[in-house]
């Protein structure tokens, strides 16, 4: 009897878990892509995502997993519109120049 590879065992286990959860089949690669895209869209820094995926550079991660969405374009337009209408103001010590997405502060 031929030995079953770890890859085949993982595929079978994943298929069983998805079936038990009532979900459609999805490839591991698709899960990886979904994880990377959602992590980046929700404020996880690119260096962290890149390291988690085992990429040699953050540039590769950005080129592969980031996509311009309509929502992101609207958010960027609103930010720039606000800058143009109110003028660019210097950040204070209490307010950082860059705010992390999802940061409540």
Q: In this predicted structure, what is the pLDDT of residue 63?
A: 87
Q: Quick check: 46 and 61 in contact, CB under 8 A?
A: yes
Q: In this predicted structure, what is the pLDDT of residue 84?
A: 84
Q: In this predicted structure, what is the pLDDT of residue 29?
A: 85
Widest pairwise Cα distance in the chain: 73
Structural domain spans, the chain: 1-88
What is the pLDDT tens value at each position of the chain, 105 positions in all? Answer: 457 788 889 889 989 999 999 989 888 888 888 899 899 888 899 999 999 999 999 999 988 887 766 777 888 899 888 888 887 666 666 655 555 555 454
The angle subtended at Cα 41 by Cα 10 and Cα 89, nearest 5°, is 160
Among 81, 79, 84, CA closest to 98: 79
Q: In this predicted structure, what is the pLDDT of residue 1?
A: 47
| Tokens of residue 40, six digits | 């980046």
């Amino acid at each position: 009897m031929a030995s079953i590879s770890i890859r085949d065992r993982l595929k079978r286990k994943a298929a069983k878990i998805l079936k038990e959860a009532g979900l459609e089949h999805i490839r591991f690669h698709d899960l990886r892509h979904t994880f990377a895209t959602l992590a980046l869209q929700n404020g996880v820094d690119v260096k962290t995502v890149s390291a988690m995926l085992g990429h040699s550079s953050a540039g590769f991660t950005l080129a592969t997993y980031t996509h311009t969405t309509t929502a992101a374009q609207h958010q960027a337009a609103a930010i720039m519109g606000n800058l143009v209408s109110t003028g660019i103001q210097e950040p204070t010590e209490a307010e950082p120049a860059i705010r992390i997405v999802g940061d409540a502060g």
